[in-house]
Chain A
Amino acid sequence: MSLLEIRDLKTYYRADGGWVRATDGVSLSIDRGETVGLVGESGSGKTTLAKSIIRLFPDNAEIHGGSIDYDGTEITDLSDKELRRRIRWQEISMIPQNAMNGFDPVYTVGQQIVQVIRHHEEGVSKADARDRARDLFDELGIEPDRIDDYPHQFSGGMAQRAMIALALALGPSLVLADEPTTALDVVIQDRILETIKEKQAEIDSAMIMITHDMSVVSETCDRIAVVYGGRIVEIADARTIITNPRHPYTLGLRNAFPDISDDDQELISIPGTPPDLVDPGEGCRFAPRCPFAEEDCWEITPEPQEYEPGHFVECHRADEIDYLQSAAGEKSTWQDATTGDRDAVVDGGIVDTSGADATETEGGSADE
């Protein structure tokens, strides 16, 4: 049985125009010890999906449907208090994007780790919790004595490591890592990803890695889920997503991402912006940007289809894989895709019209 089983999950944000359907009918299961990557651009809903699992989202967000079964417990039925007491940190923990924001600036890092340990494990003495914090620091390559430092005394890389120490302190079975290295330089990023992988293997926890970086998911994940418009549009083992994807959006992302090993890569951008999720209506949500959109795509919402075992794709034309893969590699294919929408003709940006990501910035914090 899977460790985590998400079924038809819907997480909506209340916004001026109505409900923003940031996660809109997502099913995903994760096995023990497995690492699943969630990739997609800002506004795709990848962060909301992950944070929904431990309800680390702002007040204006709500789970509107679906179920989250964690190791036999239906998480959506738990009260906030139960969730905090029973699940967060010791069962499912989070490594936020910016560790500095995750720590409370007025306490030392050690105090915060001790607090988390003692809050969740009864009968642990202060001294024992401190020893564990020191050990964790040591394992993550930070001087143990630095547990007495305040967060601002840490470099970005060190703070991120300390956050990993905190996230792993209680030996969780699932770790949610939200762009854990995006803000860091490559040397440190690499070292930290390595540390995460090692520690994860050691405590045998599963992980959800949220990122926009195709190379990071390729190296760290067993499976990759591509998120667009609040849905998982394609999911498969990492190799398949990287080398043999079927969804036009996955193909687009792959071609937009510069590959350091490729001497003559032609980078191709995906015109347009992520969809407005306030009232997305019927049809494929990628249709306004998809060069392969046909009549049906605008009217009929594609359902997930399994092409190879474990490879699910939500696209009406996914069986035309050879054509899609070769055409998507041509710049002209994407440039000719026009929609009459001015934004889509030029290019979108990180402006998120859906508002989903604007509300996704809260990190997990140490005092949860």
Chain B
Amino acid sequence: MSEATGRVVDGSETYKLEVEDLEKHFPVNSGIVSRILRGESDQAVRAVDGVSLGIREGEAFGLAGESGCGKTTLGKSAIRLLEPTGGKIYFDGTEITNASGAEINRFRREAQIIHQDPYQSLNPRFTVYEWIKEPLDVHGIGTAEERDARVYETIEQAGLKPAEAYAPEYPSELSGGERQRVGIARALALEPSFLLADEPASMLDVSIRASILDLFKRLQTDLGLTAVYISHDLSLLKHMCDRIGIMYLGELVEVAPADEIINDPKHPYTQALVSSVPRIDPDEDRERIELVGEVPDPVDMPSGCRFHPRCPRIVQPEGYDFDQDDWRAVVNLRRDVLAGDVDPEAIRRNRDDDEASALAIRDAYDVPDRLADAAADDVLDAALSDVLAGDSNDAADVLRREFATPCESGPIETHQVTPTQEAACVLYDEDEPYTLE
């Protein structure tokens, strides 16, 4: 991502929370299982890999992406529940990346997390009262009476009324919605100014989700809180948030106002993601964008744009003119040739053919018998002949050189695509950059 991310409106904007090039890498060989599977290595899972983002004061910001994209790690690293392995964090304009002692204590009071699972996040041996009071005791806030009063106040702020009825209850006596409210009350006890809510409604029944979301909205308005909501549920984030950021494999690929990112996504990954959400309205015809394969292993990061092995809009090589779907199919074939993974004999066997052929290989990859662009077809044909002759390296060389795409190399710039939308994608390289007033 470029520097620009997060500094959207103008250079003078200050953020409630800002991260710059934030990075959280986990060593791969820390667990016994991965040591057995992969051997000793200094490889790392790049869960968050250079994210820059500013969250505005009072804003509701949504972080979305598929499981494993790093959204939760980003959230937790940004408030130092996980220690980042690189980058900087600013809170209220002050750098807190390496803060310790009184300073980090103050920050920990200001920024609170609300966990996903209201069943596991409460201690079953604590009453509601004890659970909410604990952080006040730990931080030594006020007098005993003040702490007591604060507990009742936050229980009511979380919508549990009358507070006296809830205070002596144990979690086992509460419904899921009520437990989630207790978790929220505890987070509120220290009067934070920032909330990180990790899938705050995903464990709750759909019938009551709205009431928890309403509570967050009300708290943000009444208490002036800034909040980041992490969720895989785009419909929910669209409903809840001012802006949404989409993550893919440790990077932020698009940031935009909620309605715009859903109604008119700019990044091909966001486009695919939004197109996958089923629609309630029976009259809405949804055009699903197909993606190749599944999210790759974060240890083995693709070069260039991390989405390029799956992207339907991957940029075509200079000098050739493919049908885009054919180009995508050729890229898939090229990838396997480069990896030495194309086995003509195996393809023959699977198809029960008499002998291996270039046509069979094309067919296995959904590449047409002839490409519309004759020059491109010649290149492919030559490469497939090499593959059939056992000269995989020659084939790989030719395809690597001739069919190179800018998507697979170099740093990918983040572009200001509209006044409010940013996307990290080569497609916008050629556009006149959107000039800021």
- For the complex, give the distance between the alpha carbons of A260 and B214 in Å: 17
Q: Tell me if B207 and A348 are in contact (CB < 8 A).
A: yes
Binds A, one of B23-31, B88-96, B229-237: B229-237
Task: Type the 1/0 row for A193-230, where 1 means its CB is closer than 8 Å to any CB of B.
Answer: 11000000000000000001111101110000000000
A343-B175, A347-B178, A351-B176 known; A260+B205 contact, CB < 8 A:
no
- Report the bound CA distance from A155 to B274 in whole Å: 22
Known: A186-B232, A187-B276, A346-B178. A218 touches B281 (CB 8 A): yes
Given contacts A261-B284, A349-B205, contact A186 B234 (CB under 8 A): yes
Complex CA–CA separation, A252 to B205 (angstroms): 13
Kindly list chain B residues whose C-beta atoms are within 8 Å of the C-beta of A350.
175-176, 203-205
On whether the beta carbons of A256 and B206 are closer than 8 Å, the reply is: yes
From A185, A212, A257, A342, B165 is in contact (CB under 8 Å) with A342
Task: Determine the chain B residues whose CB is within 8 A of the CB of A254 once the complex forms.
Answer: 280
Give the chain B neighbours of A346 by CB distance below 8 A.
159-161, 175, 177-178, 181, 211
A273, CB-defined interface residue at 8 Å: yes
Q: Is B212 an interface residue (CB 8 A)?
A: yes
Given A186-B277, A188-B294, A346-B160, residue A273 in contact with residue B175 (CB < 8 A): yes
Question: Of all chain B residues, which has the CB nearest A263?
Answer: B259
Question: Are A215 and B176 interface neighbours, CB within 8 A?
Answer: no
**Chain B residues with CB under 8 A of A41:** 205-207
Smallest CB separation, B264 vs chain A (Å): 12
For B, the interface residue count at a CB cutoff of 8 angstroms equals 54
**Given A185-B232, A252-B207; A349-B278 close (CB under 8 Å):** no
Contacts of A345 in B (CB 8 A): 161
Across-interface contacts of B273 in A (CB, < 8 A) = 186-187
Tell me whether A164 is interfacial, beta carbon within 8 Å.
no
Q: Which listed residue, B118, B209, B235, touches A260 by the CB 8 Å rule?
A: B235
> Does chain A have a CB within 8 A of B67?
yes
**B288 interfacial contact with A, CB 8 Å:** yes
Q: When each residue 324-368 of chain A gets 1 if its CB lies under 8 Å from chain B and 0 otherwise, what string results?
A: 000000000000000000110111111100000000000000000
**Chain A neighbourhood of B203, CB < 8 A:** 350
**Does any Cβ of A come within 8 Å of B308's Cβ?**
no
A-B interface pairs (CB < 8 A), number:
154
B180: Cβ under 8 A from any A Cβ: yes
B239 touches A269 (CB 8 A): no
User: In chain A, what residue has the closest Cβ to B160?
Assistant: A346
Decide: A190 near B239, CB < 8 A? Known: A268-B210, A271-B211. no
| Cross-interface CB contact of B204 among A191, A261, A349, cutoff 8 Å | A349
CA–CA, A213 and B174, complex, Å: 25
Shortest distance from the beta carbon of A207 to any chain B beta carbon, whole Å: 16
A304 CB contacts on chain B under 8 angstroms: none
| B284: A residues at CB distance < 8 A | 261
Asked if A189 lies at the interface with its beta carbon under 8 angstroms from chain B, I say yes
Q: Among the interface residues B205, B232, B274, which one has the most CB atoms of the partner chain A within 10 A?
A: B205
Least Cβ–Cβ distance between A188 and chain B, in angstroms: 7
Residues A260 and B282 in contact, CB atoms below 8 Å apart: no
Bound-complex Cα distance A235 to B361 (A)? 50
Say whether B211 contacts A258, CB under 8 Å: no
Contact A259 B205 (CB under 8 A): no
Asked if B374 is an interface residue, CB under 8 A from chain A, the answer is no
B262: interface (CB < 8 Å): yes
| A66 close to chain B: CB less than 8 A | no
Report the separation of the CA atoms of residues A190 and B290 in the bound assembly, to the nearest whole angstrom: 10
From the candidates B118, B176, B233, B276, name the one contacting A258 in the complex (CB within 8 A). B233
Given A346-B181, A351-B175, does the pair A187, B259 have CB atoms closer than 8 Å? Answer: no
A239 within 8 A of B: yes
- Within the complex, what minimum Cβ distance (angstroms) separates B417 from chain A? 20
- Residues B260-306 near A (CB distance < 8 A): 262-263, 272-274, 276-282, 284, 286, 288, 290-291, 294
Is B16 an interface position by the 8 A CB rule? no
| A257 and B234 within 8 A (CB) | no
Contact B280 A218, beta carbon cutoff 8 Å: yes
Contact A186 B178 (CB under 8 A): no
Contact, CB under 8 Å: B67 / A185: yes
Q: Does B208 contact A (CB under 8 A)?
A: yes
Q: Which residues of A contact B208 (CB under 8 A)?
A: 256, 269-271, 347-349
Tell me, in angstroms, the Cα distance from A258 to B235 when the chains sit together: 6
Say if the beta carbon of A265 comes within 8 Å of chain B. yes
Closest CB of chain A to B164's CB: distance in Å?
12
Asked if B66 is at the interface (CB within 8 A of a chain A CB), the reply is yes
CB of A242 within 8 Å of the partner chain? yes
Q: Does B44 contact A (CB under 8 A)?
A: no
Question: Is A347's CB under 8 angstroms from B177's CB?
Answer: yes
The CA of A64 and the CA of B350, in the complex, are separated in Å by: 52
* Chain B proximity of A311: nearest CB distance (Å): 15
Which residues of chain B are within 8 angstroms of A42 by Cβ–Cβ distance?
Answer: 205
A253 contacts which chain B residues (CB < 8 A)?
Answer: 206-207
A261/B175 in contact, CB under 8 A: no
Complex Cα distance A202/B278, Å? 22
CB distance from A223 to the nearest CB of B (A): 13
Interface string of A77-105 (1 = CB under 8 A from B): 00000000000000000000000000000
Taking the complex as formed, is A243 at the interface, i.e. its CB lies under 8 A from any CB of chain B? yes
Shortest distance between the CB of B149 and any CB in chain A (Å): 22
Residue picked from A42, A212, A258, most chain B C-beta under 10 Å: A258
Tell me whether A187 and B272 are in contact (CB under 8 A): yes
Measured between C-beta atoms, what is the minimum distance from B426 to chain A in Å? 21
- Assess whether A257 is in contact with B280, with CB atoms less than 8 Å apart: yes
Determine whether the beta carbon of B278 is less than 8 Å from that of A190.
yes
Question: Contact partner of A189 among B239, B276, B281, CB < 8 A?
Answer: B276
* B179 touches A (CB below 8 Å): yes
A56 touches B (CB below 8 Å) = no
Cα–Cα distance between A174 and B319 once the two chains are bound (Å): 53
Among candidates A157, A270, A349, residue contacting B179 with C-beta atoms closer than 8 Å: A349
The yes or no answer to A267 lying at the interface (CB within 8 A) is yes
A136 at the binding interface (Cβ < 8 Å): no
**B165 & A258 in contact (Cβ 8 Å cutoff):** no
- Give Cα distance in the complex from A186 to B161, angstroms: 37
A–B pairs, 5, beta carbons within 8 Å: A212-B205, A243-B281, A348-B175, A348-B177, A349-B176
Binding site for B on A (CB under 8 A): 41-42, 144, 155, 157-158, 185-191, 193-194, 212-216, 218-220, 238-239, 242-243, 252-254, 256-261, 263, 265, 267-271, 273, 342-343, 345-351
Closest 9 CB pairs of A and B: A349-B176, A267-B210, A349-B175, A347-B177, A269-B210, A215-B278, A258-B235, A269-B211, A190-B276
For the complex with contacts A186-B234, A193-B278, 18 further pairs of A-B residues with Cβ separation under 8 Å are A41-B207, A155-B294, A185-B67, A187-B291, A190-B276, A215-B235, A218-B278, A220-B278, A243-B281, A257-B280, A259-B235, A260-B238, A261-B279, A261-B284, A349-B118, A349-B175, A350-B204, A351-B176
